[in-house]
Amino acid sequence: MNNTLKFRVNGDDVEVAVPPMARLLDVLRETLGLTGTKEGCGEGECGACSVLVDGVLVNSCLVPVAQVQGGEVLTIEGVALHGAGAGAGAAATPPALHPIQSAFLQCGGAQCGICTPGMVMATVAFLQDSQKGTVTEESIREALSGNLCRCTGYVKIVDAVLAASQGAKP
Amino acid sequence: MRGHTAELEFLSPTTLDDALEHFARGAACSKPARAFAGGTDLMVQLGARPVDVSQGPFVNLSCLAELKTIDVREDAVVLGALTTYAQACAHPVVAAEFPALCLAARATGAPAIQNRGTFAGNIANSSPAADSPPVLMALDASYELTSARGRRFVHADAFHLGYKKTELAPDELLTRIFIPRRNSLETEWRMGYRKVGTRRAQAISKVAFAGALRTRGGMIIDVRLCYASIAPVPLRVRAVENFLRGKPTSASGTGATETDAQAAVALLRSLLCPIDDVRSTADYRKEIACRLLADFLLSESEERSPT
Amino acid sequence: MQVTQKARVAREGTEVGRDATRKEGAAKLRGEARYVDDVRLPNMIFGVTVRSQVPRGRLCGLTFPQDAGIPWEEFVVVTAADIPGRNAVPLLVDDQPFLAFNIVAHREEPLCLLAHANRALLERARDAVIAHIEPLPAVLTLDEALSGNEIISGSNNDLKSILMEKGDVEGAFSKAGSDPSLTLVEGSYETEAQEQLYIETNGMIASADASTGDVTVQGSMQCPYYIHGALMAAFGFQPGAEDSRARVIQCETGGGFGGKEEYPSLLAVHAALLARKAGRPVKMIYDRGEDMAATTKRHPSRTKHRTLVDGDGKLVAMDVEFWLDGGAYATLSAVVLSRGSLHASGPYECPNVRIRSRALATSHPPHGAFRGFGAPQSLFAIERHMDVVAKACALTPQELRQRNVLRRGSTTASGQKIKEDVALDVLMRMAHEDIRFDERAREYAAHNASPAGLRTRKGLGAATFFHGAGFTGSGEKNLASVAAVDIAPCGSLRILVASTEMGQGAHTILAQMAADAADTEVDAAFVATPDTAHVPDSGPTVASRTTMIVGGLVEKAARALRAELDAGGFLSAGTHADADSFRKAALAAAAQRNVAPEALRQECQYVPPSGLIWDDKTYRGDAYPTFAWACYAAAVSVDLLTYEVTVEAFSAVQDIGKVINPLFAAGQVEGGVVQAIGYALSEKVAWKNGVMSNARLTNYIIPTALDVPRISVRFFEHPKGTPEAQTPKGIGELPMDGVAPALAGALEDALGVSFTRIPILPEDIFQALQAKGNTP
């Protein structure tokens, strides 16, 4: 029942032979080995599996992989690659953190870390669509309202997104 | 105990005709094909239990360009079946003319859900708690149902027949949603919408209300009152509407008089029999449904925001 | 003398007190941190648990039906008969089997285990297994357990009972009728279960050595040595001689909150049983529904207070009954009951106190450890009750508390003399200032009286509380935990502890403490992966003891290691070494001695401080080495149309002694407060026939970012040089304690109706107001 599907993940072309209704989440984690995207509930409530498909934030646990055929997927593993200071191409050292990731690190926005990749992806989606200077605490809370965190109480995450929004636009 | 959707058959036709062919074939062999749009409801349902592989295939609609448009016509805005909540909210005409629809859309899930979830899917899935049907009913929308046999139109309030039962025949697909635009004669329409959910985002409604009220010359000339989560189907309470039609307006001209509002609420109270479930209680639902009606009838403001 | 959360109290040349960057933070942010579900071993298959589906009964057998279309011969099946050692989870009382063999005691009881490579097939097989269970009457509520109509544990359903007595309670109450200056105030308070809801569900991967039968388990956990003990018992390995036959390794852990304290022992043994029988590694990951329904939750509770207060608003006598629903097995209920009892009279001094406590068996899946461990339950009761007492005495809640709070020299209900400086009155003032209590009170009164008050009502509440730091009583003494440090191949100071990082920052904080003790930079210190093959048993990662107790051991060991480097002339004593110099010196010391760097190892074992006396039999003495103190204040607004509640502001002010990492400490408080807002206002476990019927994130409502305000956090700082300023007291549990009573008080203030039970949902507010005539 496998289909051959082609799409792009973090800028690379991929071709996978998987059942068309396999969850994008499972294809990323198991077929492609990109385990940075997490599963927290499997029903689109927690946002731990958030990725961008064609620039739009989605819950990858609710997306049948056939629906990304020909599309462009961005996962947490691709965020640093697209950040400031990326592109040096030195394979030995990982690319510098994306400004959003740096802001989370500095502001204490990551605790246990299991919601963190999803939070970062939701932030990437939010800030790419936001005009600089228009970001407010309320708009951040709304943008992240589909990403549950049980550790932080959200304060330091909001701080991180605010800080990132004030930095250079990615 | 989870379901593994990977086991299911998933067809991805590239034209509407091909898709309809799948539905026709499924209906003929009594293994109906099931439409798959954004997947935000279906994937949750399918993931909750071991999947039944003996059922008919899913038909992926995401490659059907003809269902992705939002057409603005003189008399109506026509949403293609694949219109997502986010797309509708971002559309200038929808946002300007149907703010209640946008409120309902923004109250559905959270951004990632709004990016994938479609109105058509929300309607066809026919959950009594679905966010969009009450608003579409209050907006007097109609749905286009298409099959290889042809197409027909059903009013939003006639679409839901019973718990998870709809007008859709096994070979039919909900293809478009027609929302009438208010013409110049109908500027007196006032809309209200409020969702009372389990929290401020990622919430399923405990009770939701959508109302439309039209006044002219100091009289209520038309009214539509619709609810989610208080009956097995998205509910329009015609008896209350009939009571209110023809009644004088309040002094401000925006709603009903105090006396008529109270009588309307009493009538509504006698009609409703919601249930207790994990999200709320029957008593609370009934009381809040009544209060939302009173609030709407006595309100002097326009659209109400969801919480 | 206070720092706000933003303040950085960097002291020149030291790491403690600074916002050190999270050690594993970058890996988490890149998605590179490896959680158990991210690990794939060669040849690995998957395992699932078949559960009882009935709340109580007698297991008569299992059928694997041939007509179900399941190729059973391909499956690895493990039942109780496959357990080579003891079929009992080793804990306080060994009453819980790893797999049921006779009595099924709750709806989620594990009956057998299945493993297969195909996960979809595995789910179908789990569904197909038929369990033959003769039903027995179940005990589904605390009241049913109390009634004793059906006895499921001991002679009266008690899993544990405690009696604490101070002074003469009966004597004091006998004067109540005759002395008109005395007021008697009674109240009853209830709390529901709460799900920890770590975002990473429980999971384990086990593998077994085909020739030796030795087992290795890696997964999500708080307490590697609990699991080690469970594996030793289940496989019949000899403690001591065969310790190395079971090995436990912690993966990155996506939150615990107590939910990964004792429960993972069961799951780890399950995975190991399957792996040994399969001869292949087996991964078991609970899906969300299974994790919510089957694993431990916070104990539901009921507390009855009878309080005598004199004309000056001073407490004269307190008679407290405190009951917990322990669920089907004892797990940690005895210790939860203990902590709950020791906090039941609150941070108040009273000459006559009696606390009678019982943890009762029911047919619910066992309740267990959860942040706060009994204290949030009993503190909710006493703090709500103090508001009631205040009203009865015509005092403000603040005045009543001011008159009764513990101070230096006071004695607690257990007879413990408070020897530290207690600044509860200052904390109360700080919290009131921080939330602008008086100003808001005026604003809210005006609002509530205005036309806007017909749409929303606003109110304020506060709670004053304490939390005993570390283990109760002789816990630490009995544990005698060990921590070690050595030198890693790179020259850095490597900390060897079984204390786990689960988001709370333990591994960064321990590195900060070790770095200071070794007088170097935090970059030159790190915590090794907790792996029972390499780290000593520093005890479980619970009760905020990691920083307090384990941190102290690590400091001592690091100091000793540094002294060795100084003595050898590799560093000079009293001189701060930057990270590079430290590493060079450590490697040079190893080279000179011709040993591997890890041979430069220092160990330190816990020695109880002198002067702490505790008697477990009478529940008298020094219950805790020290206490954290706090005052939390809440401002709420209630929509009168729908009774939806908005928390408009929340201030959390606390004295936690020395703050090791201000950023992390504030993060702990913010997270704890939000978890407790859920506990108070939305998180309701809907029991149905002995099981959680809303075991989904859609229906069990934890707060999103939109549901909570920005939490304001402030730490009280004792004057420099005082012992209080130098002692860390733990921070993890405290924020769970005071939120619910503060919110309930604020709701009462807003609506004029008293709430004695949490969670308080809009439906409950509706009901309470209806009972009162529907007008606030």
Q: Which domains does chain C have, with CATH numbers?
A: 10-33+474-605 (3.30.365.10), 38-136+202-285 (3.90.1170.50), 301-471+621-771 (3.30.365.10)
Q: Which residues contact A47 (CB under 8 A, 6 or more apart)?
A: A40, A59, A115, A118, A119, A122, A144, A146, A147, A148, B110, B112
Q: Closest approach of chain C CAs to the CA of A79, in angstroms?
A: 8
Whether A31 contacts chain B with CB within 8 A: no
CA-closest candidate to residue C463, choices C617, C306, C630, C217: C630
The interface predicted TM-score of the complex, written ipTM, equals 0.96
Contact between C704 and B110 using a beta-carbon 8 Å cutoff? yes
Considering only CB atoms, A110 lies closest to which of C25, C198, C710, namely C25
For residue A86, what pLDDT is reported?
A: 44
Residues 262-301 (C) with a CB less than 8 A from some CB of B: 287, 289-290
Whether A101 contacts chain B with CB within 8 A: no
Quote the tokens at residue C606: 């816990």
For residue C697, list chain B residues with Cβ-Cβ distance below 8 A.
202
Q: What is the mean pLDDT of residues C657-665?
A: 96
Give the number of other Cβ atoms within 10 Å of residue A117's Cβ: 31
* pLDDT tens digits, C440-481: 999 999 999 999 999 999 999 999 999 999 998 889 999 999
CA-closest candidate to residue C23, choices C540, C529, C601: C529
CA-closest candidate to residue B156, choices B180, B190, B187: B180
* pLDDT tens digits, C168-190: 999 999 998 899 999 999 999 99
- What phi and psi values does residue C15 have, to the nearest 5 degrees? -95, -35
Cβ–Cβ < 8 Å for C374, C337: yes
- A44 φ/ψ sector (left φ>0, alpha ψ -120 to 50, else beta): left
Quote the tokens at residue B208: 């939701």
For residue B303, what pLDDT is reported?
A: 41
CA distance A69 to A65: 7
**Mutant choice from A1, A2, A7, A21 vs B, greatest count of B C-beta within 10 A:** A21
Residues 64-83 (A) with a CB less than 8 A from some CB of B: 64, 66-67, 69
Cβ–Cβ < 8 Å for C351, C150: no
Count the alpha carbons within 13 Å of C123 in the hemisphere toward its beta carbon.
18
For residue B38, list chain A residues with Cβ-Cβ distance below 8 A.
62
For residue A29, list chain C residues with Cβ-Cβ distance below 8 A.
37-38
Contact between A57 and B8 using a beta-carbon 8 Å cutoff? no
Contact between A97 and C30 using a beta-carbon 8 Å cutoff? yes
Q: Delimit the domains of chain A by residue range.
A: 3-79, 83-166
> Residue B301's pLDDT band (boundaries 50, 70, 90)?
low
Contact between B198 and C686 using a beta-carbon 8 Å cutoff? no
For residue B279, list chain C residues with Cβ-Cβ distance below 8 A.
699
* pLDDT tens digits, C51-106: 999 999 999 999 999 999 999 999 999 999 999 999 999 999 999 999 999 999 99
Residues 691-730 (C) with a CB less than 8 A from some CB of A: 696-698, 702, 704-706, 708, 710-711
For residue B51, list chain C residues with Cβ-Cβ distance below 8 A.
120
Q: Which CATH number fits domain A3-79: 2.60.120.920, 3.20.20.80, 3.50.40.10, 3.10.20.30?
A: 3.10.20.30
Report CA C96 to chain centroid distance, whole Å. 21
Query: Quick one: closest CA in A to B6, which residue?
Result: A22
Query: Quick one: closest CA in B to A121, which residue?
Result: B112
Cβ–Cβ < 8 Å for C274, C76: yes
For residue C704, list chain B residues with Cβ-Cβ distance below 8 A.
110, 199-202
Please check the confidence at residue C2 and state whether its pLDDT lies above 80. no
Whether C254 contacts chain A with CB within 8 A: yes
> Residue B304's pLDDT band (boundaries 50, 70, 90)?
very low
Please tell us whether the domain made up of B184-298 is placed in CATH 3.30.390.50: yes
For residue C440, what pLDDT is reported?
A: 98
For residue A141, list chain C residues with Cβ-Cβ distance below 8 A.
705-706
CA distance C216 to C272: 8
**Mutant choice from C123, C704, C736 vs A, greatest count of A C-beta within 10 A:** C704
Contact between B44 and A18 using a beta-carbon 8 Å cutoff? no
For residue C10, what pLDDT is reported?
A: 36
Count the alpha carbons within 13 Å of C23 in the hemisphere toward its beta carbon.
23
> Touching C: which chains, 3+ CB pairs < 8 A?
A, B
Q: What is the mean pLDDT of residues B47-52?
A: 90
CATH of domain B67-180: 3.30.465.10
Considering only CB atoms, C28 lies closest to which of A107, A110, A141, namely A110
Residue for token pair 């330091």: A156
Contact between B201 and C704 using a beta-carbon 8 Å cutoff? yes
> Residue C774's pLDDT band (boundaries 50, 70, 90)?
low
For residue A95, what pLDDT is reported?
A: 82
For residue C1, what pLDDT is reported?
A: 34
Please check the confidence at residue B189 and state whether its pLDDT lies above 50. yes
> Touching A: which chains, 3+ CB pairs < 8 A?
B, C
CATH of domain A83-166: 1.10.150.120
Q: What is the mean pLDDT of residues C502-531?
A: 97
Give the number of other Cβ atoms within 10 Å of residue C144's Cβ: 18
Cβ–Cβ < 8 Å for C723, C660: no
Whether C661 contacts chain A with CB within 8 A: no
- What phi and psi values does residue B164 have, to the nearest 5 degrees? 60, 25
Query: Quick one: closest CA in C to B197, which residue?
Result: C644
Please check the confidence at residue C24 and state whether its pLDDT lies above 90. yes
Distances (CA, A) of C581 to B106, C201, C485, C523: 57, 42, 18, 12
Q: What is the mean pLDDT of residues B20-36?
A: 95
CA-closest candidate to residue C600, choices C641, C563, C640, C545: C563
Q: Closest approach of chain A CAs to the CA of C29, in angstroms?
A: 6
Cβ–Cβ < 8 Å for B142, B178: yes
Q: Quick one: CA dihedral C371, C377, C378, C384, positive or negative?
A: positive
CA-closest candidate to residue C166, choices C491, C415, C386: C415
Q: Closest approach of chain B CAs to the CA of A59, in angstroms?
A: 6
Give the number of other Cβ atoms within 10 Å of residue C688's Cβ: 11
What average pLDDT does chain B have? Answer: 94
For residue C355, what pLDDT is reported?
A: 98
CA distance C776 to A68: 54
**Mutant choice from B5, B195, B200, B292 vs C, greatest count of C C-beta within 10 A:** B200
Count of B-C CB contacts under 8 Å: 74
Q: Closest approach of chain B CAs to the CA of A73, in angstroms?
A: 14
Q: Closest approach of chain A CAs to the CA of B141, in angstroms?
A: 28
For residue B198, list chain C residues with Cβ-Cβ distance below 8 A.
682, 699, 701
* pLDDT tens digits, C600-638: 999 999 998 888 899 999 999 999 999 999 999 999 999
Q: Closest approach of chain B CAs to the CA of C120, in angstroms?
A: 6
Contact between C766 and B202 using a beta-carbon 8 Å cutoff? no
> Residue C8's pLDDT band (boundaries 50, 70, 90)?
very low
> Residue C250's pLDDT band (boundaries 50, 70, 90)?
very high
Contact between A105 and C252 using a beta-carbon 8 Å cutoff? no
For residue A46, list chain C residues with Cβ-Cβ distance below 8 A.
199, 697
Q: Closest approach of chain C CAs to the CA of A143, in angstroms?
A: 9
Whether C287 contacts chain A with CB within 8 A: yes
Cβ–Cβ < 8 Å for C189, C756: yes
Q: In chain A, which stretches have pLDDT less than 50?
A: 84-90, 169-170
Query: Quick one: closest CA in B to A54, which residue?
Result: B115
For residue C290, list chain B residues with Cβ-Cβ distance below 8 A.
1
Span between the terminal Cα atoms of chain C, in Å: 41
If one compares C1 and C755, the residue with the highest pLDDT of the two is C755
Whether C754 contacts chain B with CB within 8 A: no
* pLDDT tens digits, C362-385: 999 999 999 999 999 999 999 999
Q: Is C536 helix (H, G, I), strand (E, B) or coil?
A: coil
Burial-class residue C20 by CB neighbours within 10 Å (0-12, 13-18, 19+).
buried
Contact between A101 and C24 using a beta-carbon 8 Å cutoff? no
What average pLDDT does chain C have? Answer: 96
Contact between A125 and B58 using a beta-carbon 8 Å cutoff? no
For residue A131, what pLDDT is reported?
A: 85
Q: What is the DSSP string of B179-205?
A: EEPP-GGGTTEEEEEEEEESSSSS--E
For residue A147, list chain C residues with Cβ-Cβ distance below 8 A.
705
Strand-pairing partners, residue B191, are B212
Contact between A145 and B111 using a beta-carbon 8 Å cutoff? yes
For residue C642, list chain B residues with Cβ-Cβ distance below 8 A.
196, 288, 291, 307
> Touching B: which chains, 3+ CB pairs < 8 A?
A, C
If one compares C330 and B300, the residue with the highest pLDDT of the two is C330
